Chain A
Amino acid sequence: MRSRNEHVVLSSRTDDAGLLRQIADGDERAFSMFYREHLDAVVAFFARRVGDRELALDLTAETFAAVVIGAGTYAGDAPAVAWLFGIARNKLRESLRRDRVEDAARRRLGMEAILLDDAGLEQIDERAGRGESKLLQTLGELPEATRSALIARLLEEQDYGQIAARLQCSEQVVRQRVHRGLKKLRAGLKEES
């Protein structure tokens, strides 16, 4: 099972919890801030996993629609970004299980389907690339051993056992490296902001 803190590294520059409260109160601008802050990372998350740009856009739309519906239910006991990626993972899981993209949240909000042309597809690629490069750039500043463990865990979604076998160390060491790496990344991002 993935740690809920893993996605914190993708972004923690804004007061996401505050934005979610404002979204629940109907503040459109707060939504735009939250959306623009996390959009690239969410698109990258789906694009990497489904390998289909149109499907990645659909899942992104469904995830943010669920954010609009559920912003008022965010309890604040976990990082808001972990909550966001929890929604994304659920949408992905449901989509794979049912072999179709769920559109319940979008239908509930009365949203229209978004038509895509080639330029739109390219934009999905661009955003997915930016979402990943943002993370990779920060990862690049970490020591090699920590970076390898984090990439295997975060981007390749390998089990701790698999990573340990690959890096020829114990599972406990891998867990420590991932934990320390996440801590450093969070600290780095805070300094940057």
Chain B
Amino acid sequence: MTDPFEELERQLRRAVRISSGERSRRAWRGHRRAWAIVAVAMLVASATALAATRLVGGQSLETQGRKIALRAARETASVPACLQVGGPSTGPVLSEGAPLAAITVLLPSLATPVSSRERAATLAQFVRARLNAILLSRTLRTIPVTPHVQLLVAVGVGESGGESVRSPLACARARLARAQQLDGKRPATVQRWARWRLGQMRDTVPGLQTLYIFELPVPLPPHVLAGGGTADPVRPGHALKPGLPLVAGEPGGARLLIGIAARDAAHIRLQTRDTGAMHGLPTQVAVREGFYAVTVPRGVRKFRLIEVAADGRMLRPVDLRQ
């Protein structure tokens, strides 16, 4: 791949050249009578607006591009490089290997294996939750985030479910070639949207991993398999971001928020201006191995989470409403 900054410079130089031509034409028009300027300006404005949202056959250029990408993926499904490599269909299986740096930068503890007993107990819970995935053995763990909630956490290989294509790079090239055959005569914008959509397809991202998080009530009622769960795909080099990957409903209309904290955050401070609603909202919760859980009672509409470091520094305020 070319240097992204050289590529950016190349595109911008071209834009300088083109926009200069447009300015020259505008200057030429400036010598014409006023009514002509108005008419031309209106025409240019209309053409620009039309170009931006142009519909061909009732579809926007974006939709056409996306459809071409999907068709290219469909039509290359039988190419050897694009054959699906299936994940497990009967529950989780374990694999060796390390989690991506993009994950451990925020959740460093996932790089260190826990005891075999804890690992086995966590795996048993994932089996109970009927998770079909290839999990990295060393990342399996149970993290108690509050006295009433614990998290089952693991990093999996590939997309959620462990499915991927046989050769991601070769498959990406095959899809791109097919898309170019399909969109060769379409406007450049359609081609750009097609390429963009192909780049979004995660099954051709080499080294992609998925972070699985399940919340589990403590104690777990016998009839419950597991609480809510989420699977966040993480691309190599694209760092996992702090945020709220999981929001679950609680009895009485409350909501349980499961968060990944910013690096160095030791606890989360909670604030709301609605003083009546502060009743029942904790003022502070601890961050455990990068995760935290907050139960927000029904009736709390606007509130603020502030990530705070161990030395008291405020790291990041997040305003939320529900």
Contact = CB atoms under 8 A, between A and B. Distances in A.
A127 B3 CA distance: 12
A109 B15 contact: yes
A21 to B, nearest CB: 12
A14 interface: no
Contact of A68 (B4, B19, B192): B19
Contact of A120 (B4, B20, B21, B195): B4
Contacts, number: 89
Interface stretch (A23-31, A134-142, A178-186): A23-31
A124 B4 contact: yes
Nearest to B11: A111
Contact of B16 (A27, A36, A124): A27
B12 interface: yes
A113 interface: yes
Contacts of B33: none
A127 B189 CA distance: 30
Given A110-B188, A120-B3, A68 B15 contact: yes
Interface of B is mostly: helix
Interface string A96-132: 0000000000010111111111111101100100000
Contact of B237 (A25, A35, A116): A116
B23 interface: yes
B121 interface: no
A119 B16 contact: no
Contacts of B23: 24, 26, 72
A43 B3 CA distance: 14
Interface in A33-74: 35-36, 39, 51-54, 57, 60-61, 64-65, 68-69, 72
Contact of B13 (A31, A52, A61, A116): A31
A112 B192 contact: yes
Interface string B178-193: 0000000000110010
A109 B237 contact: no
Nearest to A54: B238
Nearest to B52: A107
Given A52-B241, A113-B195, A26 B15 contact: no
B130 to A, nearest CB: 34
Contact of A123 (B3, B188, B192, B241): B3
A90 interface: no
A26 B13 contact: no
B302 to A, nearest CB: 17
B7 A114 contact: yes
B225 to A, nearest CB: 34
Contact of B199 (A53, A113, A120): A113
Contact of B12 (A25, A27, A68): A68
A69 B12 CA distance: 10
B8 interface: yes
A129 B20 CA distance: 34
Given A26-B24, A72-B23, A115-B1, 9 more contacts: A32-B9, A51-B239, A60-B8, A68-B12, A110-B188, A112-B195, A113-B195, A120-B3, A123-B4
22 contacts: A27-B20, A28-B13, A28-B16, A31-B13, A52-B238, A52-B239, A57-B4, A57-B8, A64-B8, A72-B23, A109-B15, A110-B18, A110-B189, A111-B12, A111-B15, A112-B192, A113-B195, A114-B8, A116-B1, A116-B4, A119-B1, A121-B237
Interface of A: 23-28, 31-32, 35-36, 39, 51-54, 57, 60-61, 64-65, 68-69, 72, 107, 109-121, 123-124, 127
